[in-house]
Amino acid sequence: MKISKKLYSYYLIWPALLIYSIFFVLPALTGLFYSFTDWRLDRESIKFIGFDNFERIFTDRTLLLAIKNTAIFAVVTVLGKNLLGIALAVGLNMKLKSKNVLRAIFYSPSILSVLVISIVFTPMLRSDGTINRIFDAVGLHSLNQAWLTNPSIVILTVAAVSIWQHTGFQMAIYLAGLQSISKEYYEAATIDGAGSWRSFRSITIPLLLPAININLMLTLIGGLKVFSEVFVLTGGGPGNASQVVGTIILRSFGEGSWGLGTAVNTLLFAAVTIIAIPLLIFMRRKEVSE
């Protein structure tokens, strides 16, 4: 008995399709168009200006710095959240007495608002704040830093706060992946004389690929779209030292240079797509061949 696919009529898709198209796709497409115009708050007419906005982005020092900072933030957080996330997940997948409590503790910051965590860390990161005082107390005075006011490290500080908050989320996905791996593989490997490093490399990593895949994608895309952490912790400062693409868009919006703002957004869109899609395809292929 085979029933016609036509019985599943398309009208149930319409509500989702309409809302998604009007409030997500339409703005994305018009954004593409406006990024080639001189659209401004204080101008009546809109003129097509070709690649002028993009030329400005790549010659303006602040905008270039924002792009560089976004890249640094993305790379550092991808590495930090995933390496620490796997390490925590492997540790908490062992037979430990306190594993349930520990899992809950490590996961808990990731359910809170970025705003909450960023405000909590602000006084702790001051020159006379909790973190420097702890370094003093244990005799590591040389590690003291002006975490949020030293232009050369400020973006790393923001990245560290983000790693602190979200590694638990990555850990939870890795844990779910680890728990789907059958214990028998490890038993067989132990009988064959494989050590724990060898088991980790030859069993855990390949079978964890779906989780690694989704975590790399999530952290990378999230890293490139970073906004709230920077907005609350530094507001892009000191000066413009920690501006990222997300805060530049807010600034262009506030200044009324909307054409430039949409151009920055288009660039972000291009970057995310160019990096994410090949990675997605590559990881898929790898998974299949395992």
Partner 1 sequence: MNFSRKMAWRNYLVEGFLILASLLIILPLLIMIFGSFMTSTEVLKFSLRLPDKWMFSNYSKVFSEGGLGRAFLNGMLITGVSSILNIFISSAASFILVRRDTKLSNFMYMFFFMGLIAPMSTITTIRVVQWMDFYGSITSVILIYASLNTAFSVFLYSGFIRSIPKALDEVAFLEGANTFDVFFKIVTPLIVPVNATVAIMVFMSVWNDITIPLYFLTDSSKWTMPLSVYNFYGKYSRDWNLIFADLVLTSLPVLILYLFCQKYIVSGLTAGAVKG
Site for partner 1 in 171-210 (CB under 8 A): 172-174, 176-177, 180, 209-210
Single residue of 76, 77, 78, 168 touching partner 1 by CB under 8 A: 168
Does 211 engage in binding with partner 1 (CB under 8 A)? Answer: yes
Nearer Cβ to partner 1, position 185 or 231?
231
Here's the x/- map for partner 1, 47-86, by CB under 8 A: it reads as ----------------------------------------
Task: In angstroms, give the least distance from the CB of 239 to partner 1.
Answer: 20
Single residue of 47, 60, 64, 123 touching partner 1 by CB under 8 A: 123
Taking contact as CB under 8 A, which single stretch among the options 43-51, 62-70, 126-134, 139-147 is the one that binds partner 1?
126-134
Nearer Cβ to partner 1, position 123 or 239?
123
Q: Which two tokens stand for residue 151?
A: 């232009």
Does 111 engage in binding with partner 1 (CB under 8 A)? Answer: yes
Q: Minimal CA–CA distance to 204: which of 225, 223, 177?
A: 177
Task: In angstroms, give the least distance from the CB of 77 to partner 1.
Answer: 16
Residues 78, 220 contacting (CB under 8 angstroms): yes
* Cβ-based neighbour number of residue 234 at 10 Å: 24
Phi and psi at 37, nearest 5°, equal -125, 170
Provide DSSP, 89-139: HHHHTS--TTHHHHHHHHHGGGGS-HHHHHHHHHHHTSTTSHHHHHHHHTT
Cα angle value 150/156/161 (rounded, 5°): 110
User: What sign does the dihedral 228-232-237-242 (CA atoms) show?
Assistant: negative
Nearer Cβ to partner 1, position 130 or 202?
130
Taking contact as CB under 8 A, which single stretch among the options 51-59, 66-74, 144-152, 279-287 is the one that binds partner 1?
279-287
- Looking only at residues 219 through 278 of this chain, which bind partner 1 when binding is defined by CB under 8 A? 221, 224-225, 227-228, 231-232, 249-250, 252-253, 258, 261-262, 265, 268-269, 272-273, 276-277
Phi and psi at 180, nearest 5°, equal -85, -5
Q: Which two tokens stand for residue 149?
A: 């006011």
Which residue do the tokens 């925590």 mark? Answer: 88
